[in-house]
Structure 1
Amino acid sequence: MTPVGSVPDGKVADFLTGKFVNDTPEEYVRQNIEKALVRQYKYAPADCAPEFTIRVGSARKRVDIVVFGKGADHTQANAYILVETKKADVKPTHRTEGVGQLQSYMASCLNAQYGMWTNGTDRFCFAKRGDGKGGWTFEEIIDIPGFGQTEADAQRPSRKDLKVATADNLLFAFRRCHNYIAAHEGKQKTEAFWELLKLIFTKIEDERAPKLNFFATPSERGSSTVASAAKKRIQGLFEQRVVKKYPMIFDAKDTDIDLKPEVVAYVVTELQGYSLLRSPVDVKGVAYEEIVGSNLRGDRGEFFTPRNACRMAVTMLDPQPGERLLDPSCGTGGFLITAMNHALEYIERTEREQWDDPAQGTDFERDELYRRRDEYFRQCVLGIDLNPALVRAAKMNMVMNNDGSGGLFQANTLENPHKWSRSLREAVPLGSIDVIVSNPPFGAKIPIDDEDILSQYDLAAVWDQDDDGTWSIRLDKHGNRVLQKSQPPEILFIERALQLLAPGTGRMAMVIPNGILNNPSTAYVRSWLLKKAQILAVVDMHRDLFQPGNDTQTSMVLMRRLSAEEEAAAEADGLDYPLFMAVAEKVGHDKRGNVIWRRTADGSDALVKRIETVAEIDQKTGREVLREVELTDRQVDDELPEAAEAYRKWLEEQR
């Protein structure tokens, strides 16, 4: 990223004009829609205008966003689409700011054909129709047309019309669906959540098929009677393309989409215009994990690793396509997906470099790329978690983010491997893993006190320190190790992870509470660790990293498992090697979870330019093509990317 300027305090640079406007909740919604109009709907920025003034009777009103005909003068007569954006707590039925306001504006613009009203959570689209009496009616439609689209195409998009999600617009769509199900179904929150995931899953699998059938028509959405046809169609897709393909996720008792037909039709219409497969990983990850987190966050020390921490660790570890990758406490899969996609980017880049046309490729070239990706998924991507609901959610997350779901297992990672299923023992034998990424559950409220589990670990024993400072395991009169009554799981996860790594080469990044690294009571853990691993890096992360929800101060610790020869040398004389250390005082958000923006010397928000590779669907061929776009954004005040960059530079210097 390249610094390019600054934004005054309390302002935001408008996406369309670059001018500074007040940073308000309503502006947050408008900026997301502006980005969607350009990047998803493909309207030229020059044909869009924010805060456009029109005449409504004798009054002058300002429309939040107006889209004009291609190349047309920005006049009220040339207005084509009107958009009204509101902050989240404004209801669509509001007397002065609801959908009625939008419709009055549309009626005053003679040639305006379409309109959208949204507060982020709710969204309504309308087409203006003549009533035959010199007036207008407003018909609710599924979506406004994109550039060059007909209204009919927008209501049932073909593959070439599918939109790649930008900013938080997919998050808004997921929220709308989740809220609609909650409002119209008499289900418990978690039950309704799983039904939504069935529909998301069906949408993803439909995108893999030659012909798209995940759709609902305006009449199906508008009538509970007609909606039964939509549910029947979607139910058939779910049974044929999802249940049969993923029996490890959906068993024989879980083959029905248990939602009313009108609810199915609504959710389908909210999702059908997107390409979930092509949308950026982070856009999907933020949307998916918020919905998962609000429904499945448990009480076993489970706190999902923030994306910036995942990216930092993965950048530092640099997992390669041929390396076996594991998260032994994978949760919903966010950490594992970040690492998996890092390796997939390498596969895609090296394959495309060999193509005659790197942006598109021939059928043969694309088949070879998919073969390499599939081979990587089947052989190298693995995850384990104790919580069956999280494992199921992780499998769905994996499918939405390129796949790899076949390597996920529900099991107690800390249990003796002899008690694991045969398939897990064969997939993840001790000493076989090249790269581990992990944020294990931690906390005194979930101690491990099962003696069968504790007996496997050196770090579950009682340790004594000799006068010379040497630590050793306490033995009873029979020469057996004396075990502690219990041990917090995060300590045992350190040892189990090292057991899983390949001796001499296996490396890992783990989130570790600072108490283990600093407290006198855990000095024996540090002593043991220095004899089993080379510590590569320690990044001390601000205690707000897991806020809101948990204020435990943690560090990201990178380490490599020592070989047997290195262990012997470490035991005899210790090992001497350089170590990278950093302190991240800024992690991009405060304790309430609000984004913190980086400031310049005069107190303004800093701006940066960055290049983003966007996957799009070619309008003629229907194939995916890659395009680079230059974006200018406010810079999040987050030092984790800088820590990763500094580590990679330091590592090169060591080599």
Structure 2
Amino acid sequence: MAAEINEQEDISLEDNQLVCVITGDIKKVKAQEINIQSVALMLNEEYGFDLADMERDFKIEYTDPDNNKQKKQKIELVVFEQGKSHDQEHIIRICIVQDDKVKDTDKTKGLAATLENAMGAVENCEFGLWANGSSYHFLQKEDDTMNFDYEFTDLSDFPGEGETLEDLDRADRSSSRKPANDSLIKVFKRSHDYIYGNEGRKKDAFWQLLYLIFCKLYDEKRKFIPSEDSYRRKFWVGVKEKNTAEGCKKVSDRIKSLFKELKEDKIFSEVFSGSEEIELRDKGIAFIASDLAKYSFLDASIDVKGTAYETIVSNTLKQEAGQFFTPRNIVKTMVEMLNPSEADRVLDPACGSGGFLVMVLDHVRKQIAKELYPDLDGPLLTEKFNSFDVNDRVRQYAENSIFGFDFDPDLKKAARMNMVMAGDGHANIFHVNSLEYPNWEHPDEIAKINSAINQSLLMMKDLENAYGTDAREKFDMIFTNPPFGAKVKVERGTIYKEDGTLNYKLGAYSDAPEVLFIEACYNFLKPGGKMAIVLPDGILGNPNTLPVRVWILDKFKILASVDLAVEAFLPQVGVQASLLFLQKKTELDRQLAQESGEDYDVFMAIAEKLGKDRRGNPIYLRDEEGAELLFDTETQYVVNKKNSVKEVKIRKEKLKHLDDDLPKIRDEYYKFLNNDLL
């Protein structure tokens, strides 16, 4: 486990309070305080500095050279030499942390007035950081022997615990930092804002950033290419390289060459057409690359990568015609309740940006890693998620068993990119209207789908289902949130054939897309196959949809139904919805049900809390008086030392827990299944 939760203490928080990770003190929630907590966690998990060696609001003393008077300066966060007393002479990192509105050029709170002044006053401190939540400046202090003073150099990063500046500059450095907390989200946003504001590319800032992100991913994946005898990074920026035009040109040339190589790669060529170009200036490429190069994208958790990716995608792709991201906690619960394995062929017939497919891939990745490394657990097992042997099995699984269909070509591309971000890149994502399959008007795409299905049947030795040539009745599991609502129009030809007969039996009762998708999913599932689908409550409760419910009861066994709170899809869209878990009956099952009737238990639950309010703000567990509760938590994390040595560390902290019923519902469903088997 990454975190072990102990008994809660008798401590609660007001809505405008948080607990400092360093001191354990209760602090008011302000922009600067949030930034201090973020920097502290970054230094702890990413740089390997112990919380015990940090101190906040530390006052340094120095002599003003202009008037020879003693002065003091308060530093938001300092790091001391490991195990040494918290005295000024032992400070090795100075961190000035401001709120988001303070600019680095501010005369009193900016870079020169605060960080440079403090570093000059602390003789033994060579490195410092100035941060305001969106802008980060790493500085090195060097002696200026000509002027008997100090010179400050802008760096792309500073060394972590036990590292040197030379360690960061090695092209053969095989591992980057694993992003903690919200680091990756901030890096993505910072990079996007830079392109948008400084490169004059407001229309394609998103795509230009993605090209650089995928260069980074491709560079990391090169470690697993058999022909790469000794891996050397190509996507890297020397700590001082971005400071000169010559250095920026070298960075730009390296990355553009990498992008050209990427577009010819088998996996990545499926994402790009080949005509794309990185069109940023050398300075812009070096600026963004220096931020991205710090982190290992493959080692980042699926939640961190997914949230970061969705943050920039959601601001770019218009959420029209019922398209929006299914919240991650809902996706995770649906996947975990059906529990797909390496033996299951999975489809999302309305895959959007690929959220369900990515979650399935991550779920199966964890199973594979546990099978291959049964003696490991916690963060050491997590470290194996992207090992060569796990990656190879995951790649084969995705190639053969994960399929996604979507009517929107932009979302098809976004889903492919999301799969690459998840650490695969080779799932079978197709541009097709699932409601019109297999008679869609693009026969070439249909042929590709059918070829991929036949290849999957062959590779999975699925001889029992190897009849026919298309995707119908070929899937073990379906996860989907189909488009629904009055804005989504279904063409008449989808429901009726040219001779006037029905394509969809449910079309006799409704032309709503969510109704037709139920039947489409039925057609895609194998007999005995399972599906988890998001449906508006109207289908399950309105009198005029009774025939639809009768059809569902005839064709499926109801496994579970979870009623969602109205906040589920807010603030994107307001709709009352439920999660329905179904298993397709075999013909024998249907005959027995018709002859003898049915009597079985159905798991039912109501998710009253989903961890957020109507505006999308997080909500936490509270006591009877309405104050937020705190829980003692031990967080385990791995720090990468020199020479690839990994050390497991534990951070004790008091954390709030989201008020989300879905994990409890998942656990109760597992108990229900186990009791059913007894």
Alignment TM-score, normalising by the size of structure 2: 0.86
Separation in 2 of the partners of 1:354 and 1:587? 35
Instruction: Tell me: CA distance 1:28–1:184, structure 2 relative to 1, closer, same or farther (3 Å).
Output: same
Q: Counterpart amino acid of 1:492?
A: L
Aligned length: 626
Instruction: Tell me: CA distance 1:331–1:609, structure 2 relative to 1, closer, same or farther (3 Å).
Output: farther
Secondary structure at the residue paired with 2:434?
coil
| Equivalent residue for 2:198, pick from 176, 184, 188 | 184
Instruction: Tell me: CA distance 1:628–1:501, structure 2 relative to 1, closer, same or farther (3 Å).
Output: farther
Question: Hey, what does 1:649 align to over in structure 2?
Answer: 671
1:382/1:408 contact within 8 Å kept? yes
The Cα shift of 1:614 comes to 5.0
Question: Hey, what does 2:89 align to over in structure 1?
Answer: 77
Secondary structure at the residue paired with 2:157?
coil
Pair 1:324-2:345 in alignment: yes
Q: Counterpart amino acid of 2:414?
A: A
The Cα shift of 1:142 comes to 0.6
Secondary structure at the residue paired with 1:162?
coil
1:539/1:584 contact within 8 Å kept? yes
Q: Counterpart amino acid of 2:39?
A: I
1:7/1:13 contact within 8 Å kept? no
2:13/2:630 contact within 8 Å kept? no
Pair 1:539-2:562 in alignment: yes
Separation in 2 of the partners of 1:155 and 1:22? 40
Question: What percent of counterpart residues are identical?
Answer: 33
Separation in 1 of the partners of 2:446 and 2:165? 53
Separation in 1 of the partners of 2:644 and 2:163? 16
Question: Hey, what does 1:171 align to over in structure 2?
Answer: 185
Question: Hey, what does 1:8 align to over in structure 2?
Answer: 13
Q: Counterpart amino acid of 1:647?
A: Y
The Cα shift of 1:324 comes to 0.8
| Equivalent residue for 2:449, pick from 424, 427, 443 | 424
Instruction: Tell me: CA distance 1:614–1:314, structure 2 relative to 1, closer, same or farther (3 Å).
Output: farther
Secondary structure at the residue paired with 1:414?
helix
Separation in 1 of the partners of 2:157 and 2:619? 33
Question: Hey, what does 1:459 align to over in structure 2?
Answer: 506
The Cα shift of 1:240 comes to 1.3
Question: Hey, what does 2:226 align to over in structure 1?
Answer: none
Separation in 2 of the partners of 1:338 and 1:11? 33
Instruction: Tell me: CA distance 1:368–1:41, structure 2 relative to 1, closer, same or farther (3 Å).
Output: closer
The Cα shift of 1:631 comes to 6.5
1:417/1:425 contact within 8 Å kept? no
Separation in 2 of the partners of 1:628 and 1:379? 39
Q: How does 1:84-163 map to 2 (within 5 A)?
A: 84-99=96-111, 100-132=113-145, 133-155=147-169, 158-163=172-177
Deviations 1:288-335 (Å, cap 9, x if unpaired)? 111111111331211111111111111211111111112111112222
Separation in 2 of the partners of 1:86 and 1:78? 23
2:157/2:239 contact within 8 Å kept? no
Question: Hey, what does 1:550 align to over in structure 2?
Answer: 573
User: Structure 1 residues 17-26 or 115-124, which shifts more?
Assistant: 17-26
Question: Hey, what does 1:38 align to over in structure 2?
Answer: 44
User: Structure 1 residues 126-135 or 388-397, which shifts more?
Assistant: 126-135
Question: Hey, what does 1:268 align to over in structure 2?
Answer: 289
Pair 1:197-2:210 in alignment: yes
Q: How does 1:335-484 map to 2 (within 5 A)?
A: 335-353=356-374, 368-419=389-440, 420-428=445-453, 429-454=471-496, 455-462=502-509
Question: Hey, what does 1:222 align to over in structure 2?
Answer: 243
Pair 1:498-2:503 in alignment: no
Q: Counterpart amino acid of 1:119?
A: N
Question: Hey, what does 1:259 align to over in structure 2?
Answer: 280
1:326/1:382 contact within 8 Å kept? yes
1:3/1:607 contact within 8 Å kept? no
Secondary structure at the residue paired with 1:171?
helix
Q: CA RMSD in A?
A: 2.8
The Cα shift of 1:121 comes to 1.7
Separation in 2 of the partners of 1:652 and 1:613? 30
2:89/2:122 contact within 8 Å kept? yes
Pair 1:519-2:542 in alignment: yes
Separation in 2 of the partners of 1:178 and 1:60? 38
Instruction: Tell me: CA distance 1:418–1:251, structure 2 relative to 1, closer, same or farther (3 Å).
Output: same
Question: Hey, what does 1:24 align to over in structure 2?
Answer: 30
2:419/2:427 contact within 8 Å kept? no
Secondary structure at the residue paired with 2:567?
coil
Separation in 2 of the partners of 1:551 and 1:103? 50
Deviations 1:541-563 (Å, cap 9, x if unpaired)? 11112222212121111111111
Deviations 1:161-189 (Å, cap 9, x if unpaired)? 51001110111111111111111222234
Q: How does 1:588-603 map to 2 (within 5 A)?
A: 588-603=611-626
The Cα shift of 1:91 comes to 2.5
Deviations 1:154-213 (Å, cap 9, x if unpaired)? 355753551001110111111111111111222234x22111111111111111232111
Deviations 1:133-164 (Å, cap 9, x if unpaired)? 34333221111211111123335575355100
The Cα shift of 1:600 comes to 2.6
Separation in 2 of the partners of 1:293 and 1:250? 20
Separation in 1 of the partners of 2:518 and 2:404? 16
2:96/2:131 contact within 8 Å kept? yes
The gaps in structure 2 that reach 5 residues or longer are: 65-69, 223-230, 454-470, 497-501
Deviations 1:562-589 (Å, cap 9, x if unpaired)? 1112233445665322111111111111
The Cα shift of 1:217 comes to 2.9
1:131/1:137 contact within 8 Å kept? yes
1:616/1:625 contact within 8 Å kept? yes
2:630/2:657 contact within 8 Å kept? yes
Q: Counterpart amino acid of 1:652?
A: N
User: Structure 1 residues 71-80 or 155-164, which shifts more?
Assistant: 155-164
Q: Counterpart amino acid of 1:644?
A: R
1:381/1:404 contact within 8 Å kept? no
Separation in 2 of the partners of 1:304 and 1:80? 44
Secondary structure at the residue paired with 1:512?
strand
Instruction: Tell me: CA distance 1:186–1:359, structure 2 relative to 1, closer, same or farther (3 Å).
Output: closer
Secondary structure at the residue paired with 2:269?
coil
Secondary structure at the residue paired with 1:503?
strand
Separation in 2 of the partners of 1:628 and 1:198? 36
Instruction: Tell me: CA distance 1:393–1:321, structure 2 relative to 1, closer, same or farther (3 Å).
Output: same
Deviations 1:437-474 (Å, cap 9, x if unpaired)? 11112221112133244542112114xxxxxxxxxxxx
Separation in 1 of the partners of 2:250 and 2:25? 48
The gaps in structure 1 that reach 5 residues or longer are: 463-483
Secondary structure at the residue paired with 2:128?
strand
The Cα shift of 1:274 comes to 0.6
2:24/2:654 contact within 8 Å kept? no
1:3/1:606 contact within 8 Å kept? no
Instruction: Tell me: CA distance 1:331–1:227, structure 2 relative to 1, closer, same or farther (3 Å).
Output: same
Deviations 1:58-100 (Å, cap 9, x if unpaired)? 5544322101112221122222211122333333233333323
User: Structure 1 residues 239-248 or 55-64, which shifts more?
Assistant: 55-64
User: Structure 1 residues 369-378 or 516-525, which shifts more?
Assistant: 369-378
Alignment TM-score, normalising by the size of structure 1: 0.89
The Cα shift of 1:607 comes to 3.0
